[in-house]
Amino acid sequence: MHGKVSINNPQAKTALALAKSWVGTIFPVGVTTYQEEQCRNAWQEGHAAFMRNWPYAYALSSAEGSAAKGRFDVTYLPQGNGPNASHAATLGGWQLMLSAYSKNKDAAAKLIKYMASSETQKECAIKLSHLPTLAALYEDKEVLAAQPWFARLLPVFKNAVARPSTATGASYDKVSTDFFQTTNQILSGGIPVDQGIQTMESKMKRDMR
Q: For 123-169, how does the pLDDT look when each residue is reduced to its tens digit (9 = 90+)?
A: 999 999 999 999 999 999 999 999 999 998 888 777 777 777 878 88
Helix and strand counts by DSSP (H, E) for the chain: 10, 0
Stated length of the chain:
209
Domain boundaries, the chain: 10-90+161-207, 105-149
Among candidate residues 179, 184, 187, 180, the one with its CA nearest the CA of residue 25? 187
Largest separation between any pair of C-alpha atoms in the chain: 55
Residue 114 has pLDDT above 80, yes or no: yes
The Cα–Cα gap between 78 and 117 comes to: 34
Amino acid at 147: Q
Q: Stretch 10-27: mean pLDDT, rounded?
A: 93
pLDDT for residue 1 is more than 60: no
The pLDDT of residue 93: 63
Residue type, 164: P
Rounded CA gap, 57 and 206, in Å? 37
User: Across the chain, what does the average pLDDT equal?
Assistant: 89
201 and 8 Cβ atoms separated by less than 8 Å: yes
Tell me the C-alpha distance between 129 and 124, whole Å. 6
Specify the pLDDT at position 117: 97
In this prediction, residue 89 carries a pLDDT of 67
- How much is the pTM? 0.76
Task: List all residues 6 or more positions away from 162 whose beta carbon is below 8 Å from its beta carbon.
Answer: 90, 91
Q: Given a cut of 90, is residue 204 above it in pLDDT?
A: yes
* Exposed/middle/buried for residue 169 (C-beta within 10 Å: 0-12, 13-18, 19+): exposed
23 bridge partner residues = 27
| % of residues, the chain, pLDDT over 90 | 65
* CATH H-level, domain 10-90+161-207: superfamily: Periplasmic binding protein-like II (3.40.190.10)
Give the per-residue pLDDT at 90.
67
| Better pLDDT: 106 or 164 | 106
